[in-house]
Amino acid sequence: QPLYHGALINGRPATQRFSGDWFDRAPLLAAAPRHFLRYDAGALAPVAADAADQALLEPQPHPALVSPADLPVALRTALGARGMCAAKSQCPPGELRLSWWAPRSDGSAVVALHDADFHQTLFAWSARTARLTRLAAADGQLSGGRTHYLPCAAAQAAIFCVEAAPDIAPRLVRIGEGGNKTVVSSPNPDPDSEGLLAETIAWQVSGSRASGVLIRPKIPGRLPLFVTYYRCAGYLRGGVGDEWPLRALAANGIAALCINSVPSGAVGEARYEQGMEAVRAAVDLLAKRGIVDPARVGMGGLSFGSEVTTWTLRHSDLLKAASIASVQLEPSYYWFNARPGRETFIKNVREVWKVGSPDESPDGWKRLSAALDTSNIHAPLLMQLPEHEARLSLELFSKLATARLAEMHIFPFAAHIKAEPRQKLAAYQRNLDWFRYWLQGAIDPDPAKAGQYQRWSLLGPKKGEASTARIQRSTSAISSNRK
């Protein structure tokens, strides 16, 4: 990102520095000594704060970092008996994972566990009786917000949660001591009114279980398919990072599949290969069911999902078009980060991808980096990157753009996950247009978009195919005249 005023914090340009592991950032003066003063009513001047006062100002641990080891021993033992995995990550597919816990002042607690499909179950724990009681379960999330690791709000007689599932838009529910669930507020439209089907599906990949959520219109015939790979928790909007409008794609006649990453201890290339095989097996399954057309498949992803997308683009003929939203591995990515003071980055690269620098491990980087293997990419790639990362993938973009296989858009001030509403809308709309164009041959007649279709008509390995048989945007696949 830009060195000076490279971030937007609460609408204000701010300067940051790396703070530790991977790409965590902190304010420029975060490491400077801090001085704590205590102001007492009636005192003429403040006095130095003691350790107890300073402890009150310490930030709480991020809820995503909570692990089974943070639970009281008796509670951890009782949950283990219920099938909870004792590890923080890399749990076996059949074991439950800790989502969150909410301790109460009387020593009791409410704990949430989730399975590989992010279906959550709540348990009540009594420290006095050492009893663990199942409270409630959902075919989705019961948490304190958008993500599965945020705790619900625990009162003495009830607990209040946000419930969300593929077919349940987020709503506030009250769960009583006996487990009875009452809807307090349901502010979002009923997904059933959209006329879409949302179903959880599972399949086998090399002896492992894969799962995901398929959203599609209620129309007959084989549909084009869009796939995103990483996590599929709660009410699906656009995959991890919210870049691909899954329901809008389905409403326009493109089936949308979100795949949960297959649990395993694999690293680096093996993990990418596993992701690609999960995609391949899902396409085969849906093709055999007569739902999708395997010749019209697109894919998109952010972070690890983007890496699996580019790996699939390079190592298979599955994809007709792709879209990514974050940096990819290439030499510039390494050299921008591997320097004095960033030893943790170098260590992480060695542990995760089993390679040293591009000079030390040239063969490893040729296997890992799409930028060093663009000759094996034959489908067009849309790159919608945050400004914090765009500089790190210029080799990949430049090579593909020169071959007329890529288009890049950079979002000012944006971090790894875009947050500005106008940027989210732009990413959504462009991804919708991109996959409608490449998977359906559809063109939005809006004159303001004429330029993008003129550019896209020049992309693709075979120019004749890329620019023919385009149609004006058709009526929505779920409109009233398509029963």
Digit-coded pLDDT (tens) for 225-282: 999 999 999 999 888 999 999 999 999 999 999 999 988 778 889 999 999 999 999 9
Show me where the domains of the chain are located: 1-30, 75-185, 191-330+369-472
Fold adopted by 191-330+369-472: Rossmann fold (3.40.50)
Query: How would residue 481 be classed by pLDDT, with cut points 50, 70 and 90?
Result: very low
Per-residue pLDDT tens digits for 61-86: 889 999 999 999 999 999 999 999 99
| pLDDT at residue 190 in the model | 84
Per-residue pLDDT tens digits for 278-333: 999 999 999 999 999 999 999 999 999 999 999 999 999 999 999 999 999 999 99
Fold adopted by 75-185: Neuraminidase (2.120.10)
| pLDDT at residue 265 in the model | 75
| pLDDT at residue 477 in the model | 45
Give DSSP secondary structure letters for 71-103. S-HHHHHHHHHTTB-SSSS---TTSBEEEEEEE
Distance between CA atoms of residues 446 and 443, nearest Å: 9
What are the angstrom distances between the C-alpha of 391 and each of 1, 209, 325? 8, 37, 13
292, 286 Cβ separation under 8 angstroms: yes
How confident is the prediction for the chain on average, in pLDDT?
A: 91
Query: What are residue 65's phi and psi, to 5 degrees?
Result: -90, -5
Ramachandran quadrant class, 38 (left: phi over 0; alpha: psi -120 to 50; beta: rest)? beta
| pLDDT at residue 463 in the model | 52
- Alpha helix (H) residue ranges in 6-157: 51-56, 73-81
- State the average pLDDT over residues 358-363: 97
18, β-bridge pairs? 25
- Positive or negative, the CA dihedral 273, 352, 389, 67 is positive
| Six-digit token string for 108 | 């009791």
Distance between CA atoms of residues 303 and 275, nearest Å: 13
Query: How would residue 213 be classed by pLDDT, with cut points 50, 70 and 90?
Result: very high
What are the angstrom distances between the C-alpha of 256 and each of 186, 306, 353, 471? 25, 16, 30, 21
Report helix, strand or coil for 367.
helix
Per-residue pLDDT tens digits for 20-51: 778 888 888 888 888 888 888 888 888 888 88
| pLDDT at residue 462 in the model | 62
Radius of gyration of the chain (CA): 25
Predicted confidence (pLDDT) at residue 467 exceeds the cutoff of 80: no
Query: How would residue 429 be classed by pLDDT, with cut points 50, 70 and 90?
Result: very high
- State the average pLDDT over residues 424-448: 97
Predicted confidence (pLDDT) at residue 98 exceeds the cutoff of 80: yes
> Which of these ranges, 20-24, 96-100, 393-397, 461-465, has the smallest mean pLDDT?
461-465
